[in-house]
Structure 1
Amino acid sequence: MTQIEEKVIDSTFQFSTPVTLNSPELQSLFDFIALGASERDRDRILPYDVVELIRRSRLGALRIPVAEGGAGRTARELFEVAIRLGDADANVAHIVRNHFSITERILRSERTARNRRWLKAAVDGAIFGSAANELELKKAGGGGVVNTKLTPDGNGYRLNGTKYYSTGSLYADFLYVRLLTPEDIPATGIIPSNREGVELVDDWDGFGQRLTGTGTTKFTNVRVEADEVILEKDTDKDNLPYNIVPQLFLTAVNAGIIRSVLRDATALIHKRPRTFYHAVAEQAADDPLLQQTIGQISANAFAAEAIVLAAADGLDRLAVAKTQGEEAQLAAALAASLGASKAKLIVDDLALRSATLLFEVGGASTTKKSSNLDRHWRNARTLASHNPSHFKARAIGDYEINGTPLPPRGFF
């Protein structure tokens, strides 16, 4: 970060408490993020300064109870924020996706000393990133581990291995790492990202979500303390079969993209200096065809947001079910996962259609690289590809027809 950037940030934003849904500071932060979103995406400017602002705002503590220093907001409110952040910058929204997934897992777990320590770090502004995927696995998303392993080292361990698609980790303070114990048992470690031997490589070259730091993470003889490793049998491990937050967060970002498309489409109408000779109106703003297109995008944005928030309500119902016994909790988790899965199928389609309609509003001149309006389609398509719709739809159909529970892994 340059001295000028530091000065602008310091003079503009002051955060005394963790921001909440209605904080004026939160809207100011999102407005600031939106101003540079297109330029960052076009020129591949990594948003370290923006992530630093998110740290200072303590947005990552949105779901942590007030009694523990957080904002204490509901799941529905979290996803309202996710949509607004996706509207401001889809890259930045995706960067913090794993943070909220990880903190949600910790919140669902027993409050041991280490879980309280990790939640306190989030309250203080720390960002959590994930390093879970390995290309050697034949089946993506199954939670398996083959090459990232602990070896004994005194009263702790050493970690060696390589992870891929580590979204957000480039900007994170802590890494949530899937690994093998010395006995070849799958486990999870949460370790500082700046620990000696951790290498974060910015080698993601996707055509969309270019700035998310979805690159390679290498661990070379990294020291891991014993209480940084969460074993499958530990009582403070989240054992819920469906995590839900990661998949619904991507869908919320796509809902945010539709809102951003609507803003850009409306701006194009007002800036458009000319129209086609065979158009039915002299001014673009008076053209009924363009009005109809804007109206369709607006309806898509409304529907997408409503669908995401309806699915988010399932997470709040899950929190209530937790007090009603294991059977009620499992039923609520399945229902919430089904809601998130169905939301994805519809919202992804609306996002891609809306991003295409944007070019109907502006014509060929909107395809200029300098305008970077293609970022909306590229980002929406990339987000949707994380969790292919046809596989998701098949699983939903199998449940509806045969009562087969959804697969209890990362994509659900």
Structure 2
Amino acid sequence: MNEIVTAPAPDFTGPLDPASPALEALFGVIGEGAAHREFERILPHEPLALIRKAKLGALRLPVEAGGAGASFRDLFSVTLRLAAADANVAHILRNHFTFVERYARIPKDETQKRWRREVAAGAIVGLANTETNAKVVGGGTFTTVLQPDGDGYRISGQKYYSTGTLFSDLVLVRVATPEGKLASVILPVARAGIQLVDDWDGIGQRLTGSGTTVFHNVRVEPEEVVRDGETVGYGTAYSSTLPQLYLTTVNAGILRAVLADAKAVLKRRTHTFFFAPAEVPTEDPLLQQTIGEIASNAFAAETLVLATADALDVADRLRTAGAPTDAVTEAAHEAALRAARSKVVIDDLVLRSASQLFDVGGASAAHRSLNLDRHWRNARTLASHNPRAYKARLLGRFEVDGTPLPSSSFF
């Protein structure tokens, strides 16, 4: 009797190189259960455990610090692939990568060095920023305020849209200082007084843990506070371009998944429309055309994302080399322009393609059990962040009179 040989399970121990076959295998494992998890609302704790093991969150850390030394192009290429496998899991890491860039990749003190070590070991960082009762037009302060407590502080407050925090080891909390300035507080999610509430009920991106985080008189040590400054954290010009492009990249990944599902749906069809020009669905020129349009949309979306990532790399190289501030700001503004332009185009492409998927599959593709509608719901939810109309308006103003994009918040 021939012995049955079982292939060894892939080793996902990281940090994995962006081009590693093990990384592609990891995305395959995550993608296998994505539709089922979304259908049954099973929170992706297991995929996040694999991501910790793979040290995926350390992609941008230097190799000597335990990371993969990835460029921005590498980071967004990986994000595209992960989002195609599971848009929820990819979205969960958005705030993590933003934290790494702002506070850990190039540490400025011993505390930031500690945060970098934790990220290198696999720790994931979430965010608690938005306060639903806050007046946000033109910016403003937070009701979550640092209250002096001996040699440290206490905070109490409630945050919403805490994407990723439900699955994280650390959470970055945006607060007001006693002087009315803005700051970030980075805390372990297990600290006494922090309550994570899974109450996100969006039509899409249902598994991102984007619900409520409550702080009940939580202790904050002095070294856990980072006050905003012109070259620190949220105060750095165009430091929000990364999280803006990240959302658009997840949508580009969804478009890649739409293409894969559209081809699979067409290939398994056994009958076609009454007036179809061909008896075999895969030979129907109209359905072939639709697949071709979706494929072209996916190509355009991915090309825009990577072109913007290249601009981020240019700005990063200038900043690292100590180039003059004006040169760095100009390069960062170019990246912000590309990110905004990409969103205006890609949001439209992915929503259109997610609808075209049903043109390929017909009524049978609408079965709830197939869960193909998740692509449109997820893309629509992501596109609702910082609506494209506001981006397009400010892009138009730049083209008309040269007014630069705002240097903070949604750019």
Which TM-score bucket, shorter chain as reference? over 0.9
Letter matched to residue 110 of structure 2:
A
CA contact (8 A) 1:109 1:238 kept: no
**Which residue matches 2:180?**
184
Deviation string 1:284-323 (CA, Å, 9 cap, x unpaired) is: 1111111111111111111110010001111100112212
**Which residue matches 2:334?**
335
Looking at structure 1, the residues matched to 10 and 223 of structure 2 have their Cα atoms a distance apart, in angstroms, of: 36
CA contact (8 A) 1:76 1:312 kept: yes
Q: 1:383 to 1:272 in 2, by over 3 A?
A: same
CA contact (8 A) 1:99 1:129 kept: yes
Q: Which moved more, 1:278-287 or 1:179-188?
A: 179-188
Q: Does 1:273 align with 2:277?
A: no
**Which residue matches 1:3?**
none
**Which residue matches 2:407?**
408
1:140-155 to 2 correspondences below 5 Å: 142=139, 144-155=140-151
Looking at structure 2, the residues matched to 107 and 200 of structure 1 have their Cα atoms a distance apart, in angstroms, of: 24
Looking at structure 1, the residues matched to 310 and 317 of structure 2 have their Cα atoms a distance apart, in angstroms, of: 11
Deviation string 1:152-181 (CA, Å, 9 cap, x unpaired) is: 222111111111111111111111111022
Letter matched to residue 218 of structure 2:
V
Q: Does 1:83 align with 2:64?
A: no
Question: Which of 39, 47, 56 is residue 59 of structure 1 equivalent to?
Answer: 56
Mark the runs of 5 or more structure 2 residues left unpaired by the alignment: 1-7
Letter matched to residue 257 of structure 1:
I
Q: Which moved more, 1:17-26 or 1:158-167?
A: 17-26
Q: What SS is found at the alignment partner of 1:208? A: coil
CA contact (8 A) 2:152 2:220 kept: yes
Letter matched to residue 232 of structure 1:
D
Looking at structure 1, the residues matched to 10 and 242 of structure 2 have their Cα atoms a distance apart, in angstroms, of: 29
- How far the C-alpha of 1:236 sits from its partner, in A, is 5.5
CA contact (8 A) 1:166 1:214 kept: yes
Q: Does 1:250 align with 2:247?
A: yes
**Which residue matches 1:311?**
308
CA contact (8 A) 1:110 1:236 kept: no
Looking at structure 2, the residues matched to 186 and 393 of structure 1 have their Cα atoms a distance apart, in angstroms, of: 28
Letter matched to residue 279 of structure 2:
E
Looking at structure 2, the residues matched to 254 and 82 of structure 1 have their Cα atoms a distance apart, in angstroms, of: 10
- How far the C-alpha of 1:327 sits from its partner, in A, is 1.1
Q: Does 1:363 align with 2:359?
A: no
Q: TM-score, normalised by structure 2?
A: 0.94
Q: Does 1:222 align with 2:221?
A: no
- How far the C-alpha of 1:105 sits from its partner, in A, is 1.1
CA contact (8 A) 1:145 1:178 kept: no
**Which residue matches 2:207?**
211
Looking at structure 2, the residues matched to 305 and 221 of structure 1 have their Cα atoms a distance apart, in angstroms, of: 45
- How far the C-alpha of 1:233 sits from its partner, in A, is 4.6
**Which residue matches 2:125?**
128
- How far the C-alpha of 1:232 sits from its partner, in A, is 2.5
Looking at structure 2, the residues matched to 146 and 139 of structure 1 have their Cα atoms a distance apart, in angstroms, of: 10
Q: 1:372 to 1:200 in 2, by over 3 A?
A: same
Q: What SS is found at the alignment partner of 2:370? A: coil
Looking at structure 1, the residues matched to 410 and 39 of structure 2 have their Cα atoms a distance apart, in angstroms, of: 30
Q: 1:235 to 1:317 in 2, by over 3 A?
A: closer
- How far the C-alpha of 1:108 sits from its partner, in A, is 6.5
- How far the C-alpha of 1:111 sits from its partner, in A, is 2.7
CA contact (8 A) 1:134 1:145 kept: no
Q: Does 1:28 align with 2:13?
A: no
Letter matched to residue 208 of structure 1:
G
Looking at structure 2, the residues matched to 357 and 222 of structure 1 have their Cα atoms a distance apart, in angstroms, of: 49
Q: What SS is found at the alignment partner of 2:146? A: strand
CA contact (8 A) 1:108 1:238 kept: no
Q: Does 1:320 align with 2:317?
A: yes
Question: Which of 258, 263, 274 is residue 260 of structure 2 equivalent to?
Answer: 263
Q: Does 1:101 align with 2:101?
A: no
For these two proteins, the number of residue pairs brought into alignment is: 401
Deviation string 1:3-60 (CA, Å, 9 cap, x unpaired) is: xxxxxxxx83433430121111111110011111111111111001111110110000
Q: Does 1:383 align with 2:382?
A: yes
Looking at structure 2, the residues matched to 203 and 216 of structure 1 have their Cα atoms a distance apart, in angstroms, of: 7
CA RMSD of aligned residues (A): 1.6
Letter matched to residue 373 of structure 1:
L
Deviation string 1:212-256 (CA, Å, 9 cap, x unpaired) is: 010011000111110000013597546421121101011111111
Looking at structure 2, the residues matched to 109 and 22 of structure 1 have their Cα atoms a distance apart, in angstroms, of: 24
Q: What SS is found at the alignment partner of 1:324? A: coil
Looking at structure 2, the residues matched to 291 and 183 of structure 1 have their Cα atoms a distance apart, in angstroms, of: 62
Question: Which of 286, 289, 298 is residue 289 of structure 1 equivalent to?
Answer: 286
CA contact (8 A) 2:87 2:378 kept: yes
CA contact (8 A) 2:34 2:85 kept: yes
Q: 1:248 to 1:85 in 2, by over 3 A?
A: same
Q: What SS is found at the alignment partner of 1:370? A: helix
Q: 1:283 to 1:209 in 2, by over 3 A?
A: same
Q: What SS is found at the alignment partner of 1:222? A: strand
Q: What SS is found at the alignment partner of 1:346? A: helix
Q: Does 1:17 align with 2:14?
A: yes
Letter matched to residue 391 of structure 1:
Y
Q: Which moved more, 1:100-109 or 1:30-39?
A: 100-109
**Which residue matches 2:5?**
none
CA contact (8 A) 2:141 2:180 kept: no
**Which residue matches 1:167?**
163
Mark the runs of 5 or more structure 1 residues left unpaired by the alignment: 1-10
CA contact (8 A) 2:155 2:220 kept: yes
Q: What SS is found at the alignment partner of 2:282? A: helix
- How far the C-alpha of 1:141 sits from its partner, in A, is 8.7
CA contact (8 A) 2:249 2:305 kept: yes
CA contact (8 A) 1:261 1:355 kept: yes
